Structure formats: structure tokens, C-alpha cells
């Protein structure tokens, strides 16, 4: 029996203004029914393009496939006509794209978008909807799928618009949309990066159940080694357009054969990783205009000898020695007066009145009290829609609270005039959750990073030459190359866009950064670089962080204190070690239990090679 999906020696070149770039170099995979393959690697290594190539969604031109085959149940997809491929997408091949904000139609209600996908799939499989009016059955199936991906009041939510959902909720809608047609193969590009840990576990369990019960095959493209450890049966590691190691997930993660895989694993924080000990890969991802020599692949096999060091600018040093960890740091003096203080802050959203019905008020924040000292890291953790992002908007006075006070150095932010507010925003900067939406598509990376220094020129005080030097320093600091400065946001990977956002936030020399999921779009190497960078900046500049994340392991690594928010309320707060070692609430215990601990070998955690 042929495998469900077979990729044979796939090569992909892309025409650019600087010349042709070979972005995939001999990619090969075999995926059987019921197998979930994790595809991991740094940003820009070709993971997303591999998934898009399977679904034939890479525009040709500018792309070209000089060699290779992609076979679904033995049928070569590369040889099919576009109408034939269109019939396969959504029915036999499901796709979860990386960016939910641009993947959903903003002019259609959620229920209509889901129902349209179900109706299209039912034209080829009438049993999908069953008897009765097709549109009614499709909406009922849409409500069922929303409920299965963890969206409360699913039937009522069918009438919502995409902009009324949080980023995590939009991601769940995309997952429901990909699964509603009962495909044979699912290509999931970062499907859980915007989800809190309990919902992430629920989604992964749903996917594992469909793989076991229906034989669903899956390519799970992810930056998270924790997701791979929890959900995948096999894993493939990519580097510079090539697959360098494959095998059962237990073998690869517990005993990685390739130096690059070992370095990736060393960059992942566990539940108890000491602050300042995380290793980051040196240098940057190779420039594919001048690609490294071919990288030898290392399949996993029991009892295999350690492989020789592969060629390449980053892999060769990794074979000789692991990168150095960041220096240890201590927290700020707890006796310091607060830099920022929230007193009883509440925020309500009042929906527009309807002639037929009136929707209830939504309480986004409910009497939140927080204090952040200068140079302190405060982690904010909660479920999707708990009010975490609303908190940052209220602090910056992008939205006004309905009750309570926000004090900066003892002064009420609500009383700031235009000049004082501009100076406040220079000293309190934000890194937004969605880098695609946060960066101006008409500006180059250099212009984006320079802009805050122009807006706050009175505070920054740099001339043109000083600004250019500062931009060059920031780009190097966040782990990008100088040639990235000439690129527009659409020419950068998701992780590279997020690093540009961090560089922009640092440009004005702030003393407090509001970081809204700043590492959710980053691969493990870039995440380690950014986390160690944030620690270094605290030691050197005394900058403080309000760090919002779904990843408790990341929050534990970086933050001095952790605050847990549920349904707009602060339910638990304390030192990071106390929250992990002696949680006081069931909510805290549930979040901790859902956090994968990669410090424990998978074999001892009950996983066996080749099993889910």
C-alpha cells in the first residue's frame, strides 16, 4: 500500500530581484495514514513552503519546481490541473494557514465562512451533512466544530464577525474550518501558537483522535518542541531548505543525532530551566542567495553512532561545542517604588444595540491591581480572551478604562496632556502580538525601526547619522542581517517580522516594554536569542517588562513575578517559583499541568517510539 503522502526529492527555486533563490533542496517525506509528523526548524528554513507546496499554493511564477514529486495516495499532485487541485483542497487536503487575521474573510460572518466550506466538501461527500436542508445542516456542523475546538456558546458565535474574536479564537476558527470537511491530509502551519495551554491541549487531543479514528495524516509545522512532544508520532528537522534529521519523535527528541537538532533542543526552556542558562544558536540563518554546502541528513535509528559534523556556517561550530548560555541575573530590589501601578482597573465593551436583541456587556478587565518596579519582569498569563491584550491597550491609553487608575511614576496617566502622553509613550513601548498587522507594509525594515526615533526625536536626541547607527545596532541585537533592512514586511518570515517589531520597540530607549506574545511567532533558536536579549537589556539598561504569554515555561524563565488572569480578573499573583512550586488555585494548577516539560525524557514520561 502506498503512503498517504510521499514527497520525493522536491526542489523549489524562487525568482527575486537579487537573483534566483533555492528555498527547498531535495525535501523527502513519507507519511502514512494516522501519522502526525512535526516539521520543525528555524524561521526561513522552508517549513511553510514545504506545506504550501503539498497543497500547490505557491504561485508559479515567481516560483519554479525544477525537480521532485508530491504524491497523494500515489497520485502526483504536481501533474494535476488547477481545477483538479481546487477540488482536492478542503475535501482531501485541509490547510491551516499561519496568520488567522489574513486567512478569514473580514466581510463574512464566522458561521457563513464555516458553512461554505462544509457545503463545498459535501458536493463530493453528501454523507458529510446528512438529510435535511443543506445550509441548515452546514450551520449545525459549523456549530459542532466550533464547540469541539473550545469556543463557548458556539451556536451564538456563528453570527460573529472575525474582528470580534481574539487572535486565539480566530486561530480556533481556522482549525474548525480545516477539519469540517473531514480531509485525509491536514497541513497545519503553527495551528496552536496563538492558543493558551489548556485549549492547545484540547486541540491537539482532537487532532490525535481524528488521526487514530479516521486515519487522518498530518504535517504539523511548528516552532514548539513541546507541541511536537505532546502530539506527534514522527518529526522532521529542517535547516536551510533541507531535511537534516527524521524519525520517531521519542528517538529524535530524546537522542538527537544531528548537531543542529541538539542545538534546537538546548534552546527550549523547560518548567524548571534556571534563568540565564538558555542556549541560543550562534549567528543567523544562512542567506539562501549564497547557500551553505549540502547538509547531510541524519535519520534516527536505535543504537546509531554520533554523526560527523555536517558542513555549513552554523552546524559545524555546533558539532564542536554547544553555544554559551546567557549570564545569570538577579531580580530587581523588591523595595523599589513602582514604575507603573494599576489600581482597580476595569474595562467594559458595550456592543451596539440591535432592534431585535441586545447583547450583554463584555467585561474585559474587572478590578485589576498590579505593580511593576523599574527593571522588573512581570508575566501575565491567562486563557485566550481573558483580557491580557486589553490590559496593554489600556495602559498605553489607546483605550480608556471604565474604572480605576493607571499611575506612571506616581502620576495619573488619564491626566496627561498631549506632550506628557507622547513622552510617556516613548518610555513605555509595546511589541504587538501580530507582526504582520503591526508593521507598515509600505515601509522597509529600516524605515520601520527608524520611525520611533523620528516620532520621539525630542526624547531620543539623535541626528540622522546617529539614528542609522542605532538601527544597525538594533538589527544586530535582535539577530538579523544588515541586508534585512532593505526588505519589506512581506519579504520576511513571521519570526523575522517579530524581531523587527522588537527592534522598533527598543528604538526610543524605553524603560518599560509591554510585550504581547512576543515569542509566539519565533522558532526556538530566535526565542532563546530574544529571551536572553531581554535579560541582557534588563541588566544593562534597567528596562522593565510586562510580558504576556501563553507559554508558562517561557514566563518562568524570564519573569520575576507571574500574575494569572481569568475572565478579566486577577486570580493569583506571586514570585515565579511560588506559582510553579506551590500554586494556590485550581486555575494555576491546570495551566501548569498543561505545560510540557522537555527537561524530562519522553521515554520516562510514558511515550514510546512511533506512538502518539
Q: For residue range 440-467, list pLDDT tens digits in order.
A: 999 999 999 999 999 888 777 788 899 9
**Residue among 531, 530, 545, 534 nearest 479 (CA):** 530
For residue 116, tell me if it sits in a domain.
Answer: no
Residue pair 554/531 in contact (Cβ under 8 Å)? The answer is: yes
Residue 7 is assigned to a structural domain of this protein: no
The cell 477539519 sits on which residue? 179
The whole-number pLDDT of residue 327 equals 46
User: pLDDT value at position 129?
Assistant: 78
Indicate whether 134 belongs to any domain.
no
**Which residues are within 8 A (CB) of 270 and not within 5 positions of it... i.e. 6 or more apart?**
553, 597, 598, 599, 600
- The C-alpha atoms of residue 353 and residue 366 are separated, in whole angstroms, by 23
The answer to whether the beta carbons of residues 279 and 559 sit under 8 Å apart is: no
Q: Is the dihedral of CA 84, 214, 28, 11 positive or negative?
A: positive
Between helix 494-506 and helix 524-541 the angle, nearest 10°, is 10
pLDDT tens digit string along 78-94? 988 888 888 888 788 98
Q: Does some domain include residue 127?
A: no
Q: What does DSSP say about strands 561-566 and 377-382: parallel, antiparallel, or unpaired?
A: parallel
Kindly report the pTM of this predicted structure.
0.75
- Whether residue 581 is contained in a domain is answered as yes
Per the structure, the complete domain to which residue 395 belongs is given by: 375-400+412-593
Query: What does the longest C-alpha to C-alpha distance in the chain come to?
Result: 72
Query: CA-CA distances (angstroms) from residue 351 to 106, 348, 384, 398?
Result: 18, 10, 20, 18
Domain total in the chain: 1
* Phi and psi torsions of 139, nearest 5°: -70, -35
Whether residue 305 lies inside any domain: the answer is no
Half-sphere exposure of 378 (CA within 13 A, CB side): 26
pLDDT at 97: 81
Q: Considering the domain boundaries, does residue 348 fall inside one?
A: no
Per DSSP, the three-state class of 214 is helix
What residues of the chain score a pLDDT lower than 50? 296, 298-313, 316-330, 333, 604-606, 608-612
Residues in the chain: 612
How large is the C-alpha radius of gyration of the chain? 24
State residue 237 phi and psi, 5-degree precision. -105, 125
Residue 50 in domain: no
Domain with residue 580: its CATH number is 3.40.50.300
SS3 content of the chain, % helix, strand, coil (to 5): 40, 25, 40
Residue-wise DSSP of 472-519? HHHHHHTT--GGGGG--GGGS-HHHHHHHHHHHHHTT--SEEEEESTT
Amino acid at each position: 500500500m502506498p503512503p498517504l503522502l510521499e514527497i520525493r526529492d522536491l526542489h523549489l527555486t524562487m525568482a527575486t530581484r537579487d537573483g534566483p533563490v533555492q528555498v527547498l533542496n531535495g525535501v523527502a517525506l513519507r507519511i502514512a495514514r494516522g501519522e502526525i509528523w512535526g516539521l520543525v526548524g528555524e524561521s526561513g528554513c522552508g517549513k511553510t513552503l514545504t506545506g504550501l507546496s503539498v497543497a500547490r499554493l505557491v504561485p508559479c511564477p515567481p516560483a519554479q519546481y525544477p525537480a521532485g514529486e508530491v504524491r497523494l495516495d500515489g497520485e502526483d499532485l504536481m501533474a494535476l490541473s488547477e481545477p483538479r487541485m481546487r477540488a482536492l483542497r478542503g475535501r482531501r487536503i485541509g490547510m491551516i494557514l499561519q496568520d488567522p487575521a489574513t486567512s478569514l474573510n473580514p466581510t463574512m460572518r464566522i458561521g457563513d465562512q464555516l458553512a461554505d466550506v462544509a457545503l463545498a466538501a459535501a458536493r463530493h461527500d453528501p454523507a458529510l451533512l446528512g438529510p435535511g436542508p443543506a445550509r441548515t445542516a452546514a450551520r449545525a456542523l459549523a456549530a459542532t466544530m466550533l464547540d469541539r475546538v473550545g469556543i463557548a456558546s458556539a451556536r451564538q458565535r456563528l453570527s460573529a464577525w472575525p474582528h470580534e474574536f481574539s487572535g486565539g479564537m480566530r486561530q480556533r476558527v481556522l482549525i474548525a474550518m480545516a477539519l469540517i470537511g473531514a480531509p485525509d491530509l491536514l497541513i497545519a502551519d503553527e495551528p496552536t501558537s496563538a492558543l493558551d495551554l489548556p485549549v492547545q491541549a484540547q486541540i491537539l487531543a482532537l487532532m490525535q483522535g481524528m488521526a487514530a479514528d479516521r486515519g487522518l495524516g498530518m504535517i504539523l509545522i511548528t516552532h514548539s518542541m513541546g507541541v511536537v512532544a505532546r502530539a506527534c508520532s514522527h518529526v522532521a528537522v529542517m535547516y536551510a531548505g533541507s531535511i537534516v534529521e527524521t524519525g520517531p519523535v521519542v528517538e529524535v527528541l530524546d537522542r538527537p543525532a544531528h548537531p543542529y537538532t541538539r542545538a534546537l533542543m538546548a534552546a527550549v526552556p523547560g518548567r524548571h530551566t534556571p534563568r540565564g542558562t538558555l542556549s541560543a544558536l550562534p549567528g543567523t540563518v544562512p542567506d539562501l542567495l549564497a547557500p551553505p554546502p549540502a547538509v547531510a541528513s541524519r535519520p534516527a535509528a536505535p543504537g546509531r553512532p554520533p554523526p560527523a559534523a555536517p558542513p555549513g556556517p552554523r552546524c559545524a561550530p555546533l558539532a564542536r561545542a554547544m553555544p554559551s548560555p546567557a549570564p545569570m541575573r538577579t531580580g530587581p530590589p523588591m523595595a523599589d517604588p513602582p514604575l507603573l501601578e494599576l489600581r482597580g482597573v476595569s474595562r467594559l465593551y458595550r456592543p451596539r444595540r440591535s432592534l431585535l436583541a441586545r447583547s450583554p456587556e463584555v467585561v474585559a478587565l474587572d478590578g485589576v491591581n498590579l505593580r511593576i518596579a523599574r527593571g522588573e519582569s512581570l508575566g501575565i498569563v491567562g486563557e485566550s480572551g481573558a483580557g491580557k491584550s486589553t490590559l496593554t491597550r489600556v495602559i498605553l491609553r489607546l483605550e480608556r478604562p471604565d474604572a480605576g487608575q493607571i499611575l506612571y511614576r506616581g502620576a495619573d496617566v488619564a491626566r496627561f496632556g498631549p506632550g506628557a502622553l507622547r513622552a510617556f509613550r516613548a518610555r513605555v513601548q509595546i511589541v504587538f502580538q501580530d507582526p504582520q498587522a503591526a508593521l507598515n507594509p509600505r515601509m522597509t525594515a529600516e524605515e520601520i525601526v527608524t520611525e520611533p526615533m523620528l516620532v520621539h526625536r525630542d526624547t531620543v536626541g539623535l541626528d540622522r547619522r546617529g539614528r542609522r547607527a542605532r538601527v544597525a545596532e538594533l538589527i544586530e541585537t535582535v539577530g538579523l542581517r544588515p541586508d534585512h533592512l532593505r526588505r519589506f514586511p512581506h519579504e520576511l518570515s513571521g519570526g523575522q517580522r517579530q524581531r523587527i517589531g522588537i527592534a522598533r520597540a527598543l528604538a526610543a530607549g524605553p524603560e518599560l516594554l509591554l510585550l504581547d506574545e512576543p515569542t509566539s511567532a519565533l522558532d526556538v533558536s530566535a526565542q532563546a536569542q530574544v529571551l536572553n536579549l531581554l535579560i541582557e537589556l534588563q541588566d544593562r539598561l534597567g528596562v522593565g517588562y510586562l510580558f504576556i504569554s501563553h507559554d508558562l515555561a517561557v514566563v518562568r524563565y524570564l519573569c520575576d513575578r507571574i500574575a494569572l488572569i481569568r475572565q478579566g480578573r486577577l486570580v493569583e499573583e506571586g514570585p515565579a517559583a511560588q506559582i510553579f512550586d506551590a500554586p494556590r488555585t485550581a486555575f494555576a494548577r491546570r495551566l501548569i499541568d498543561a505545560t510540557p516539560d522537555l527537561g524530562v525524557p519522553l521515554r520516562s514520561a510514558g511515550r514510546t517510539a512511533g506512538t502518539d
